[in-house]
Amino acid sequence: MSTGLIIALIVIVAAVLVVAAVLTLRGRGSQHGRGLKRRFGPEYDRAVARHDGDEKAAERELAERVERHGSLREQPLEPAERQRYEDRWTAAQERFVDSPREAVAEADQLLAELAKARGFPDGGHYEEQFDALSVHHAHHVHGYRRVHVVASAPAGDGRTDTEDMRAAMVEARALFEDLVGPARSREESGRSRRQSGAFNRLHVKGS
């Protein structure tokens, strides 16, 4: 076999190996992206939107969240502690009638404290706490973002109306129920749904 033929065969084999490696990496990247999309659900789409449609950038961000917080183990609540959080949430909903903005601020503070009690980062570092929550409660974490945005906005800014605040409270309730766990009885779940329904029917004074 001539030297030229041997070189040609080596080049062909090397090219085939390179193509195979590229296809393998693309396949892994596609699987990785699908896995992140399944894990984060709507939070995946929001991350893509924040990165102006750049899925790769969004996936890098979400993968970093999983790497930092994926091993976190949530701590259980004592029954009495759980009841205190339930009572505080009910009180915040009742306060909404007279002071919707203050009620939303209380919900924001309550979620931060509850998350910390369950073993998530301290609520004083909101972004870090939110990222950790998004890894373990991705489908419900957006409610926390909504109440936090309202609570952090200057009073009288005019950008958030009462219905927006009500919607934020309703959406945040789902994360609250996740965190206040464990799974409750059918009777307790029914009572929770009735409380949320009653909150949706509340009329704010002055509206």
Model confidence pLDDT, tens digit, residues 23-45: 444 444 444 678 899 999 999 99
Are both 144 and 163 inside the same structural domain? yes
Burial bucket for residue 66 (CB in 10 Å: 0-12, 13-18, 19+): middle
Are both 85 and 139 inside the same structural domain? yes
Are both 87 and 175 inside the same structural domain? yes
> Among 69, 92, 107, where does a domain finish?
69
Are both 65 and 83 inside the same structural domain? no
Query: Is the Cβ–Cβ distance between 36 and 62 less than 8 Å?
Result: yes
> Among 69, 102, 127, where does a domain finish?
69
Give the rounded distance of the alpha carbon of 23 from its chain centre.
33
Burial bucket for residue 170 (CB in 10 Å: 0-12, 13-18, 19+): middle
Are both 162 and 60 inside the same structural domain? no
Are both 46 and 102 inside the same structural domain? no
Confidence band, pLDDT 50/70/90 cuts, at residue 199: low
pLDDT recorded at residue 9 = 65
Give the rounded distance of the alpha carbon of 100 from its chain centre.
23
> Among 20, 47, 69, where does a domain finish?
69
* Domain total of the chain: 2
Are both 12 and 112 inside the same structural domain? no
| Residue ranges making up the domain that contains 56 | 3-69
pLDDT recorded at residue 127 = 94
- Peptide bond connecting 182 to the previous residue in cis, omega within 30 degrees of 0: yes
Q: What's the pLDDT tens digit per position in 148-162?
A: 998 988 766 666 788
Half-sphere exposure of 171 (CA within 13 A, CB side): 17
- Mean pLDDT for the chain overall: 81
Residue 62 pLDDT > 50:
yes
Q: How far apart are the C-alpha atoms of 79 and 166, rounded to whole Å? A: 28
Are both 192 and 95 inside the same structural domain? yes
Answering whether pTM is above 0.85, one says: no
Are both 64 and 130 inside the same structural domain? no
